């Protein structure tokens, strides 16, 4: 906990007008929260933070090969389950009940280096009278899904939320409750999960397939809430500060600027596992291609690997074949695509690959600057060239903005 709290001490929020807000400035965080989400506790009101759910995988099946579709099927099923619960929470609230906050995908992995903060929570719901509801959503069964596995996830996730809640209140003994909600979308076998410990620090609620149907969810969820006692109103101040902190973190991870950053740095067309996508090349070249597919935004984010579309894989294979055979004539390719379709991402990748192949053909030589990228569009030359320089400089690729090498 001390390591995590020390990291929070150095955490700052960047606001419009170049304002920087320290994470220990409770008064300012509360002011921001109340300004962005006023009266969220009003009856029948549901507030999503951020306003929309960011997908874990941007690519749809139509952009992936059959092998890729099979590989990512479990991830897609989990994504579908999380989206279903998110929509149920947004649309099925009893109009006579107090308002709630819904935070989809609370992701400490993307922000913190502390090991205990390396969590990815499916959904968190904040109720003004009942406390915090931590959701664990499973859309697939199997032998690997056990009560012990679910309980372990709950403990890890609730520990992260508790540490965030206790920051600055280390001497306090009482805190608002954190409840556990297990959503099992596969069947109605509640007995299988009765082994989950009920000593997780709050109530344990189990929602089965029949509970999670749109026509039954509202009444089912209302009944479950009725069985959860209200927490002591003396803890309201700690609770509100915690909400402000969690909202600030989730707003950062869900802002439009972040989505733009993910797309512009190839992070959107990526997953956290390195999938073998280049099966027709030799092992050495395959290793180079897989390694060059790695991408990341900053030092705190884990590395991810680009998922190449079949058309992109074909272009990569064609370029690699020509680079590896010096006897071939020059190659000219025209790559068409709309804005944001991955043309620049593909260019950056091919430039990195060209450097690696030249190094393998001429080991021990200084090959810096033997690969040049030129942007001939005068309208975008300055912006695009600066972006390319930032991304390609570590690889030794020259970005020619003035046409010196053309």
Q: At 58, is the pLDDT very low, low, confident or very high (cuts 50, 70, 90)?
A: low
- Judged against a pLDDT cut of 60, whether residue 256 lies above it is answered with no
pLDDT (mean) for 30-42: 90
Nearest residue to 320 (alpha-carbon basis) of 367, 354, 274? 354
Q: Is residue 381 in a domain?
A: no
What percentage of residues in the chain have a pLDDT greater than 70?
A: 83
Tally the domains of the chain: 2
Q: Is residue 240 in a domain?
A: yes
- Bond from prior residue into 122 cis (ω within 30 degrees of 0): no
Q: Are residues 246 and 285 in the same domain?
A: no
Q: Is residue 48 in a domain?
A: yes
Q: Is residue 44 in a domain?
A: yes
Q: At 299, is the pLDDT very low, low, confident or very high (cuts 50, 70, 90)?
A: very low
Q: Are residues 212 and 341 in the same domain?
A: no
Q: If 0-12 CB within 10 Å is exposed, 13-18 middle and 19+ buried, where does residue 71 land?
A: middle
Range of the domain at 352: 267-367
- Judged against a pLDDT cut of 60, whether residue 261 lies above it is answered with no
Q: Are residues 242 and 280 in the same domain?
A: no
Compute the distance between CA of residue 130 and CA of residue 124 in angstroms, rounded to an integer: 13
Compute the distance between CA of residue 406 and CA of residue 397 in angstroms, rounded to an integer: 15
Average pLDDT over the chain, rounded to an integer: 81
Higher pLDDT, 21 or 326: 21
Q: At 267, is the pLDDT very low, low, confident or very high (cuts 50, 70, 90)?
A: low
Compute the distance between CA of residue 205 and CA of residue 136 in angstroms, rounded to an integer: 10
Q: Is residue 314 in a domain?
A: yes
Q: Are residues 228 and 300 in the same domain?
A: no
Q: Are residues 228 and 277 in the same domain?
A: no
Query: CB under 8 Å to 372, separation ≥6 — which residues?
Result: 397, 398, 399, 400, 405
- Judged against a pLDDT cut of 50, whether residue 62 lies above it is answered with yes
Compute the distance between CA of residue 403 and CA of residue 406 in angstroms, rounded to an integer: 5
101 φ, ψ to 5°? -105, 135
pTM over 0.95: no
Q: Is residue 349 in a domain?
A: yes
Q: Is residue 373 in a domain?
A: no
Higher pLDDT, 234 or 393: 234
Q: Are 150 and 105 in contact (CB under 8 A)?
A: no
Asked which of 226, 254, 282 is the last residue of a domain, the reply is 254
Compute the distance between CA of residue 39 and CA of residue 257 in angstroms, rounded to an integer: 26
């Amino acid at each position: 906990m001390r390591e995590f709290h020390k990291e929070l001490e150095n955490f700052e929020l960047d606001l419009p007008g170049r304002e920087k807000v320290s994470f220990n400035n409770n008064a300012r965080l509360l002011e921001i929260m109340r300004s962005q989400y006023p009266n969220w506790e009003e009856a029948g009101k549901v507030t999503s933070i951020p306003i929309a759910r960011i997908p874990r995988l941007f690519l749809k099946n139509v952009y992936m090969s059959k092998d890729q579709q099979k590989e990512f099927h479990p991830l897609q099923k989990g994504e579908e389950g999380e989206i279903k619960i998110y929509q149920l929470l947004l649309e099925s609230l009893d109009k006579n009940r107090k308002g709630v906050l819904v935070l989809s995908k609370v992701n400490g992995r993307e922000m913190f280096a502390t090991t205990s903060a390396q969590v990815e929570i499916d959904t968190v719901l904040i109720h003004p009278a009942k406390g915090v509801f931590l959701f664990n959503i499973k859309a697939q069964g199997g032998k690997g899904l056990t009560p012990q596995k679910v309980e372990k996830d709950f403990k890890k996730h609730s520990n992260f939320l508790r540490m965030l809640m206790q920051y600055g209140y280390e001497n306090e003994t009482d805190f608002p409750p954190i409840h556990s909600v297990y959503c099992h979308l596969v069947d109605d076998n509640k007995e299988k999960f009765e082994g989950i410990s009920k000593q997780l620090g709050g109530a344990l609620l189990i929602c089965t397939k029949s509970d999670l149907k749109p026509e039954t969810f509202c009444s089912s969820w209302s009944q479950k809430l009725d069985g959860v006692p209200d927490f002591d109103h003396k803890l309201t101040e700690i609770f509100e500060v915690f909400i402000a902190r969690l909202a600030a973190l989730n707003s950062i991870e869900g802002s439009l600027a972040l989505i733009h950053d993910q797309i512009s740095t190839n992070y959107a067309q990526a997953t956290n596992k390195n999938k073998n996508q280049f099966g027709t090349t030799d092992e050495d070249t395959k290793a180079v291609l897989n390694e060059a597919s790695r991408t990341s935004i900053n030092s705190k984010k884990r590395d991810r690997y680009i998922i190449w579309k079949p058309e992109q894989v074909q272009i990569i294979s064609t370029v690699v074949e020509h680079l590896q055979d010096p006897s071939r004539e020059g190659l000219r390719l025209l790559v068409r695509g709309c804005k944001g379709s991955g043309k620049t991402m593909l260019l950056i990748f091919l430039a990195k690959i060209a450097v690696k192949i030249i190094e393998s053909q001429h080991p021990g030589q200084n090959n810096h600057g033997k690969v040049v990228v030129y942007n001939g569009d005068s309208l975008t030359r300055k912006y695009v060239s600066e972006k390319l320089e930032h991304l390609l400089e570590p690889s030794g690729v020259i970005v020619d903005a003035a046409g010196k090498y053309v």
